[in-house]
Chains A and B, each alone.
Chain A
Amino acid sequence: DAGVIQSPRHEVTEMGQEVTLRCKPISGHNSLFWYRQTMMRGLELLIYFNNNVPIDDSGMPEDRFSAKMPNASFSTLKIQPSEPRDSAVYFCASTIQRDTQYFGPGTRLTVL
């Protein structure tokens, strides 16, 4: 089975540009999580979905961030406009309810 797939693996953009990160969860998993990893704050949850429905978005930093899950096999995290402080590694993880979260390789975002 393929694991969680994230694209792009690396993204370099300029401040003010729109950034879209993509995630394909493991087939059959019904929960999807977006985490952000920074040196200062460590790993923190941004948002998670259960059966394609957003359950908890309290970790989304501000209105510049939005996430969607239009179907069970695809999710996006969008930042518009991007700022240098958004530079981080963004991870997507998926799970079947009541089981382990499996993480993708991450997207390293650099905002200049």
Chain B
Amino acid sequence: AQSVTQPDIHITVSEGASLELRCNYSYGATPYLFWYVQSPGQGLQLLLKYFSGDTLVQGIKGFEAEFKRSQSSFNLRKPSVHWSDAAEYFCAVGAAGYALNFGKGTSLLVTP
């Protein structure tokens, strides 16, 4: 069965500091992996996705993620966080065109 674990419920980082959000997945086949961001009261916006190929994927807003099959991980990173990055971040796994399984989300707080 598919599942996604985001171990960190809340993360606080200082503005300008680097960020890494963790995501571990369980999937029987080659996974399609996604990171979405949700600002308060808003829908989900795609940050980046991995279907195949280069395991380091670049997304919008300066985010990147690395697929590591051996660790069943797809961690999200950003070298320098901005106050506007404060939001809820969701990792998801599934076959493209089919329903996604989402993690519980990580809430990011950015301090001055």
Q: Which residues of A contact B (CB under 8 A)?
A: 4, 31, 33, 42-45, 48, 50, 56, 59, 91, 93, 95-106
Contacts and interface: CB of A to CB of B under 8 A. Distances in A.
Interface string B30-64: 00001010000011111001000000000000000
Given A42-B104, A105-B43, A106-B43, A100 B49 contact: yes
Contacts of A43: 90, 102, 105
Contacts of B102: 42-44
A31 B97 contact: yes
24 contacts: A33-B99, A33-B100, A42-B102, A42-B104, A42-B105, A43-B102, A43-B105, A44-B102, A45-B99, A45-B100, A48-B98, A48-B99, A59-B99, A91-B43, A91-B44, A93-B44, A95-B96, A97-B97, A98-B96, A99-B96, A99-B97, A105-B43, A106-B42, A106-B43
A33 B44 CA distance: 13
A24 B25 CA distance: 31
A100 B100 CA distance: 10
Nearest to A99: B96
Interface in B64-82: none
A93 B44 CA distance: 9
B97 A95 contact: yes
Closest 7 CB pairs of A and B: A43-B102, A97-B97, A103-B44, A45-B99, A103-B43, A98-B96, A105-B43
Contacts of B46: 100-102
Nearest to B103: A42
B34 A100 contact: yes
A6 B102 CA distance: 21
Contacts of A56: 99
Nearest to A6: B43
Nearest to B102: A43
A101 B101 CA distance: 12
Nearest to A46: B99
Nearest to B101: A45
Contacts of B103: 42
